[in-house]
Amino acid sequence: MTTATELRSYLETLAEDPTSKNPKTWKRAAHPAVYADYVAFVQSGRYPYLDAVVTEIITKHSLSDDLSQRFDHQAVHDRDDKLAIALHTEVYIASGQHRVDQMTQRERELIEEGFAPITELTPHKDMKVMLEDAKSYRLLQLPDESDWLLLLPRKSQGLSLNELVRQHHNYLLAKEERQTRMSSPAVRMFKMLDKRTELLPY
């Protein structure tokens, strides 16, 4: 069975499954051929508008008997093109999967550079850390002890440690599901600095 034949069969099965329209079922990896085509589209230097990726995949694999039609989101819904609608969902899933894979690669690179997840940070007074943005921060606890701020030199406003931890936790959930549907997932890493380290004035 060719890739095109197998992909068409997969999409037809997906189109007939009413549960496939439920976003709760999208916490998964995309079909390998769809994901490969999505990555190839991105690597070509083009911005991956979902309509454009769908159109290219349909054309590449001859997934329609009439390739002169439009395959943007609105057009396929207007004519109830079930296979193309299923492909739109699959490309959407591939886009989230690709974003997670990029973040995972970034996490690996930072670990190799000696960074640790922000979730492992135990804050204390006068602590100095470097974040994944390669900038150095000092930690300051709020008066009500509800949070710690990470401050750049000569700055009175900073980053919330609680928020950084939340973002990294959401990244871990996204990595587990291979999707980015939760709120603001981000790789947040830190590296300890010696107390004597002079913070550079940004």
Tokens of 126: 């006068």
From 60, 90, 111, give the residue that closes a domain.
111
Q: Where is 109: in which H helix or E strand? A: helix 82-112
**What mean pLDDT, rounded, does the chain reach?**
91
Please tell me the predicted confidence (pLDDT) of residue 156.
74
Which pair of tokens denotes residue 129? 């850390």
Of all residues in the chain, what percent carry a pLDDT higher than 70?
94
Instruction: Tell whether the torsion through CA atoms of 5, 8, 11 and 13 is positive or negative.
Output: negative
Reading the block at residue 64, the tokens are: 């329609």
Q: Per-residue pLDDT tens for 115-128?
A: 999 999 999 988 99
- For 130-138, the CB contacts below 8 A with 24+ separation are 130/190, 130/191, 130/193, 131/159, 131/164, 131/188, 131/189, 131/190, 132/106, 132/187, 132/188, 132/189, 132/190, 135/202, 136/193, 136/197, 136/199, 136/200, 137/199, 138/199
Tens-place pLDDT, residues 171-202: 999 998 888 766 789 999 999 997 544 444 43
| 105 and 128 both lie in a single domain | no
199 is a domain residue = no
Tell me the pLDDT tens digit for each residue of 128-152.
Answer: 999 999 999 999 999 999 999 999 9
| 72 and 168 belong to one structural domain | no
Kindly state the percentage of the chain with pLDDT values over 90: 82
pTM of the model: 0.84
In this predicted structure, the answer to whether residue 14 has a pLDDT above a threshold of 80 is yes
What's the confidence (pLDDT) of residue 1? 60
Residue 21 placed within a domain: yes
**184 neighbors 170 (Cβ within 8 angstroms):** yes
Q: Containing domain of residue 49, as a range? A: 3-111
Residue 45 lies in a domain: yes
Q: What is the mean pLDDT of residues 4-30?
A: 93
Element (H, E) at 60: helix 50-61
End-to-end CA distance of the chain: 59
Q: How far is CA 104 from CA 2, 97, 136, in A?
A: 31, 10, 23
Q: Pick from 111, 146, 178: which residue ends a domain? A: 111
Of 38, 30, 39, 25, whose CA–CA distance to 11 is shortest? 30
Residue 10 covered by a domain = yes
Please tell me the total count of domains within the chain. 2
Provide the pLDDT for residue 195: 58
Residue 112 structure tokens: 């190799």
- Residue 202 is encoded by which pair of tokens? 């940004």
User: Is residue 32 situated within a structural domain?
Assistant: yes
Same domain, 103 and 16: yes
Asked whether residue 71 falls in the same domain as residue 123, the answer is: no
Alpha-carbon radius of gyration of the chain: 22
Q: Which pLDDT score, from 0 to 100, does residue 202 have?
A: 37
- In this structure, the answer to whether residues 72 and 156 fall within a common structural domain is no
Q: What are the respective helix, strand and coil percentages of the chain, to the nearest 5?
A: 50, 10, 40
